[in-house]
Amino acid sequence: MDFLKELGIEKINYGASTGKTHFYNTPGGNLEVYTPTNGAHIGTVTQCDEPTYDLIMEKAEEAFLIWRDMPAPKRGEIVRQIGDELRKYKDPLGRLVSYEMGKSLQEGWGEVQEMIDICDFAVGLSRQLYGLTMHSERPDHRMYEQWHALGIVGIVTAFNFPVAVWAWNAALAAVCGDVCLWKPSSKVPLCGVAVQNIVAGVVEKNGLPEGVFNLIIGKGSTIGEKLLNDKRIPLISLTGSTRVGRHAGEVIARRFGKAILELGGNNAIIVTPSADLKLAVPAIVFGAVGTAGQRCTSTRRIIVHESIYDKVRDSILKAYKSLKIGDPLDLNNHVGPLIDTSAVKDFCNALNRVKDEGGNILFGGEVLSGPGYESGCYVSPAMVEAKNEYSIVQEETFAPILYMMKYSGDVKEAINIQNSVVQGLSSSIFSTDMREVEEFLSVRGSDCGIANVNIGTSGAEIGGAFGGEKETGGGRESGSDSWKQYMRRQTNTINYGSKLPLAQGIKFDL
| CA distance to 114, 292, 457, per residue, from 299 (Å) | 20, 11, 6
Active-site annotation holds for 296: yes
Quick check: 370 and 397 in contact, CB under 8 A?
no
Please tell me the distance from the alpha carbon of residue 474 to that of residue 122, in angstroms, as a whole number: 22
Q: Reading across the β-sheet that carries 267-271, which strands appear in turn?
A: 360-363, 382-385, 401-407, 299-305, 267-271, 426-430, 450-453
Active-site annotation holds for 413: no
Residue 474: closest CA among 270, 266, 237: 237
Number of residues assigned to the chain:
510
473 CB-contact burial (10 Å; exposed 0-12 / middle 13-18 / buried 19+):
buried
| CA distance to 106, 155, 203, 378, per residue, from 118 (Å) | 18, 16, 18, 32
Please tell me the distance from the alpha carbon of residue 79 to that of residue 297, in angstroms, as a whole number: 27
Give the strand pairing for 22-23 and 16-19. antiparallel
Catalytic residue, from 296, 436, 448, 471: name it.
Answer: 296
In DSSP notation, 111-179 reads HHHHHHHHHHHHHHHTT-----EEE-SSTTEEEEEEEEE-SEEEEE--SSSTTHHHHHHHHHHHHTT-E
The residues, ordered by sequence, that sit 6+ positions from 334 with a Cβ below 8 Å of its Cβ are 104, 289, 323, 324, 325
Q: To 10 degrees, what angle do helices 277-289 and 309-321 make?
A: 50
Please tell me the distance from the alpha carbon of residue 356 to that of residue 348, in angstroms, as a whole number: 12
| CB-facing half-sphere around the CA of 161: CA atoms within 13 A | 28
Helix (H, G, I), strand (E, B) or coil at 459: coil
Catalytic residue, from 114, 262, 436, 477: name it.
Answer: 262
What Rg, from alpha-carbon coordinates, does the chain have?
24
| CB-facing half-sphere around the CA of 348: CA atoms within 13 A | 12
Quick check: 33 and 44 in contact, CB under 8 A?
yes
The residues, ordered by sequence, that sit 6+ positions from 279 with a Cβ below 8 Å of its Cβ are 430, 454, 455
DSSP E strand stretches across 163-226: 179-183, 213-216
Question: Annotated catalytic sites, by residue?
Answer: 262, 296
